[in-house]
Amino acid sequence: MSSRGRPRTFSRDEALRSAMEIFWDKGFDNTSLADLTRVMGLNPPSLYAAFGSKAKLFLEAVDLYGRTDGAGIWEFLDDAPTAREAVHDLLKRSAENFTQWAEPRGCMVVLSAPQMEGGDTAVCDGLKARRLEKQVALQSRLERGVADGDLPEGTDCDAIAAYVTSIQHGMSIHARDGASRQTLMAIADCCAAGWDAMVAGVTTKAQF
């Protein structure tokens, strides 16, 4: 882009990754600029020149999270042969992902800024949009299951998508509270064990 001028002495990507990690751990509000400049290894003017503001840096960090640490959870969603396997895999990957390190545990998108009122609007809306995005992706996968024939006609994909994301979001709370991987796996297994009966039970339309 700009070859002229003094070159920056830090890696923008590495600094962003450091910012992502501390935002994930402490949340948006509880992470101060002093925290950020310390872990990123730069001074406030460099941070603002490179990222614009604390909120913009956070949104970039969330985007990085979605492309890296948070991506694996959703990798098998479209490749799974059936909707049932896709959902069970999603929850098992969530259980693994949310407990892979001592800290931070749980999903950054769920835990890092849940307060809509009084907080930064752009930050809250950005996270909310990402949550909705994944729920829509899941719903689309369920609808494909209906098209593929592994889910019955008239399956309430909207309700089931909300149900599954609810479990997944709740797993983040449990993980932050210290739940073991085994406990989170058990939650995923509960969902899987009741799956067929659940699908049959929330099928609204009559089948022909």
Partner DNA sequence: TAATTTATGTATTGACCGATACAAAATGGA
Partner DNA sequence: TCCATTTTGTATCGGTCAATACATAAATTA
- Residues in contact with DNA by CB under 7 A are 2-10, 31-35, 42-46, 48-50, 53-55
- Under the criterion CB under 8 A, does residue 39 sit at the interface with a second copy? no
- Residue 14 C-beta: closest distance to a second copy, Å: 22
Among 50, 55, 137, 159, binds a second copy (CB under 8 A): 159
Q: How many residues bind a second copy (CB under 8 A)?
A: 56
What are the residues whose beta carbons fall under 8 Å from the beta carbon of 184, sequence distance 6 or more? Answer: 94, 95, 98, 99, 171, 174, 175
CA dihedral 44, 29, 40, 133 (to 10 degrees): -120
- Establish if 122 lies at the interface with a second copy (CB under 8 A): no
From residue 20, give the alpha-carbon distance in Å to each of 16, 63, 93.
Answer: 6, 9, 21
Binding a second copy (rule: CB under 8 A), the pick from 50, 137, 146, 167 is: 167
Which of 28, 30, 24 is CA-nearest to residue 53? 28
Of 43-51, 70-78, 116-124, 143-151: span binding a second copy (CB under 8 A): 116-124
The option from a second copy, DNA, none interacting with 82 (CB < 5 to 8 A, set by class) reads: none
Q: Applying CB under 8 A, which of residues 12, 131, 144, 181 lies at the interface with a second copy?
A: 131
Q: CB of 40: closest distance to DNA in angstroms? A: 11
Nearer to DNA, 55 or 192 (CB): 55
Name the site residues for a second copy (rule: CB under 8 A): 25-27, 29-31, 35, 103-104, 110-112, 114-119, 128, 131-132, 156, 158-160, 162-163, 165-171, 173-174, 176-177, 179, 183-184, 186-187, 189-198, 200-202
